[in-house]
Amino acid sequence: VIDGYSFHLKVAFSVVDYLTPSSPNDPNSHRRMGGVATRYLECLCSPFLCNDSAAATTTAIIPPTIQIFPKPTHDFRLPTDLSTPLVLIGPGTGIAPFLGFLSHRRAQISSLESKQAAEVASEGTWRGGYELDPEELNISNSEARGLNLAVDYMRKQRHGEIDLFFGCRYRDHDWLYEKEVEEFRTMGIVSRSYNAFSREEGQEKMYVQTIMLKDEACGSRLVDMITKQMASVYICGDGNAMGRDVQEAITRLLAEKKFGKQSDEREATEKAVEYVDQMKRSGRFVLDIWS
């Protein structure tokens, strides 16, 4: 709590937990290993997730304290123009920063109809020696126009569409922030939500890049947003495979749907690669990936 306002920080993490390779000549092989940071966080969270009411009560009385060290980023942030469409690609825990993006966009859109600045302007014209009840300074929408240039400007802003890509292994196990994303869809913040599940029993393995390439409507919309609507693309998550594969999928779609009609396959691919590189240089294609 800062200055009377309550702030909440959400953290998404995958617990590192694995067995080392087994070797008959090594008595220390086949050991269970865990991540230093993620296992520690798991221990802190477990009382809230278990059915032990006593443990949960004790934790509530003495909440755990975690030291964090934020690392500011100058690139991985929303465009200043509210009308810029967004393509957010965040499989697994990579979706975490996009919850912040969507919350920020929701606040921006909510401010379009805000009359708070106009009310403050009205209060500033009063020079009496006593406080007035807020109802006595009620400002209608028509009266609010013109009292604050920033409010009038924001009201005329058109907010761009947002397409969100998410992927995980199991629909019922690790579909992170499912309810939150659905709420953003209901509010109209998220225009399209594409979800891929790679380990569903009896179903083909699906990844976010698979949806882009196999779903014709999705692929065409993606190219249209990037090339015609000048959308900004953000990729967050695993850098070993996902980051590379998604970039290759987008490059392939651009080669086929934008440059393929005027060029042969090789030339179209070269143009698509250069187009993505230009997007990166201009800040329209941003990655936050890790290995």
Taking the C-alpha atoms of residue 196 and residue 194, their distance in angstroms, rounded to an integer, is 7
Q: Give the model confidence (pLDDT) of 255-266 as tens digits.
A: 999 998 888 999
Give the CA diameter of the chain.
89
H/E stretch holding 120: helix 116-124
The bridge status of strand 162-168 relative to strand 86-89 is: parallel
User: Given this model, what pLDDT does residue 271 score?
Assistant: 96
Q: Angle CA(112)–CA(116)–CA(117) in degrees, nearest 5?
A: 85
Q: Give the model confidence (pLDDT) of 32-43 as tens digits.
A: 999 999 999 998
Of residues 91 and 151, the one with the higher pLDDT is 91
The answer to whether residue 75 scores a pLDDT higher than 90 is: no
User: Given this model, what pLDDT does residue 45 score?
Assistant: 85
- Percent of the chain with pLDDT strictly greater than 90: 55
Query: Of 157-161, 248-252, 284-288, where does mean pLDDT reach its minimum?
Result: 157-161
User: Given this model, what pLDDT does residue 142 score?
Assistant: 56
Query: Of 46-55, 82-91, 97-106, 126-135, where does mean pLDDT reach its minimum?
Result: 126-135
Confidence of residue 290 (pLDDT cuts 50, 70, 90): confident
Chain-wide mean pLDDT for the chain?
Answer: 84
User: Given this model, what pLDDT does residue 222 score?
Assistant: 98
Of residues 229 and 290, the one with the higher pLDDT is 229
Of residues 117 and 24, the one with the higher pLDDT is 24
CB neighbours (10 Å) of residue 241? 12
Beta bridge partners of residue 238, listed in sequence order = 290
User: Given this model, what pLDDT does residue 44 score?
Assistant: 87
Q: What is the pTM of this model?
A: 0.80
User: Given this model, what pLDDT does residue 249 score?
Assistant: 97
Confidence of residue 119 (pLDDT cuts 50, 70, 90): very low
Q: Environment class of residue 233 by beta-carbon count within 10 Å: exposed (0-12), middle (13-18) or buried (19+)?
A: buried
DSSP states along 159-227: PPPEEEEEEES-TTT--TTHHHHHHHHHTTS-SEEEEEESS-TTS----HHHHHHH-HHHHHHHHHHHH
Confidence of residue 141 (pLDDT cuts 50, 70, 90): low
User: Given this model, what pLDDT does residue 127 score?
Assistant: 42
Of residues 241 and 152, the one with the higher pLDDT is 241
User: Given this model, what pLDDT does residue 52 score?
Assistant: 64
Average pLDDT over residues 203-218: 96
